[in-house]
């Protein structure tokens, strides 16, 4: 669905093919109830009520609420209207995370890879991740996108700073 000009003037677009409502300033999907959209525009972007007079028309656009959105398929192109976060995909299951700490915890608890020195390239893959939103519980599932390769900087975690050896986690392009 193409986004009507009045919607674009509020920095909102409708995604294809999901019909999700995306705030291009926040780069995430929004709840589609007009009152919640008005609240977002007012509180997050200080947009006056006089510019929001068409927001009640959202109901006619047959939008998909966050609660009904499922993650996109992995390895679809990066969507510039959504936030992209560098992260990691587990090499042994479909788990993915943006947190190095959670990756280590996952490898330890789920795959019995408990020692940093034994984490190998096959255990994880640096990836670019997108999700519909970062708030609430719905729409937070990550999918892997084909992004323009960019450096992923792994900073040592505080608990590992005393180690003399460098972290064995290296990065490579997606
Ligand atoms: Zn916003
Ligand atoms: Zn796993």
- Tell me the fold of 76-160: Double Stranded RNA Binding Domain (3.30.160)
The string of pLDDT tens digits covering residues 83-97 is 999 999 999 999 999
For 121-148, write each residue's pLDDT tens digit. 889 999 999 999 987 666 679 999 997 6
**57 CA to centre of ligand 2 in angstroms:** 44
pLDDT for 174 beyond 60: no
Q: How far is the CA of 145 from the centre of ligand 1 (A)?
A: 22
Cα(100) to centroid(ligand 2), Å? 13
Cα of 101 vs centre of ligand 2, distance in Å, is 14
Query: Can you tell me the distance from the alpha carbon of 11 to that of 23, in angstroms, rounded to the nearest whole number?
Result: 6
Q: Residue with structure tokens 């669905």? A: 1
Q: So where are the chain's domains?
A: 5-68, 76-160
pLDDT (tens digit per residue) in 55-88: 999 989 999 999 999 999 999 999 999 999 999 9
Of all ligands present, the nearest one to the C-alpha of 90 is: 2
Q: What is the pLDDT of residue 168?
A: 52
Q: What's the DSSP call for residue 20? A: B
- 70 C-alpha to ligand 2 centroid (Å): 21
Grade residue 13 by pLDDT with cuts at 50, 70 and 90.
very high
The pLDDT value recorded for residue 172 is: 42
| Total Cβ atoms within 10 A of residue 130 | 22
The percentage of the chain sitting over the pLDDT mark of 90, rounded to a whole number, equals 69
Are 132 and 139 in contact, with CB atoms under 8 Å apart? yes
Ligand 2 center from residue 24 Cα (angstroms): 33
What residues contact 10, with CB distance under 8 A and at least 6 apart? 41, 47, 51, 52, 55
Tokens of 124: 């994880």
What CA–CA distance (Å, rounded) separates 85 from 99? 10
């Amino acid at each position: 669905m193409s986004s009507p000009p009045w919607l674009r003037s509020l920095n909102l677009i409708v995604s294809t093919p999901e019909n999700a409502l995306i705030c291009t300033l926040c780069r995430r999907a929004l709840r589609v109830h007009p009152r919640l959209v008005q609240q977002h525009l007012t509180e997050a972007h200080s947009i006056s009520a006089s510019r929001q007079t068409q927001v009640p028309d959202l109901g006619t656009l047959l939008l998909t609420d966050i609660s009904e959105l499922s993650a996109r398929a992995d390895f679809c192109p990066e969507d510039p209207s959504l936030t992209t976060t560098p992260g990691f995909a587990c090499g042994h299951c479909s788990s993915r995370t943006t947190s190095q700490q959670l990756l280590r915890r996952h490898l330890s608890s789920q795959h019995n890879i408990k020692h940093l020195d034994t984490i190998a390239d096959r255990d994880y893959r640096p990836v670019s991740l997108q999700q519909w939103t970062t708030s609430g519980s719905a729409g937070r599932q990550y999918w892997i996108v084909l992004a323009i390769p960019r450096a992923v900087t792994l900073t040592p975690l505080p608990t590992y700073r005393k180690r003399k050896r460098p972290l064995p986690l290296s990065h490579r392009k997606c």
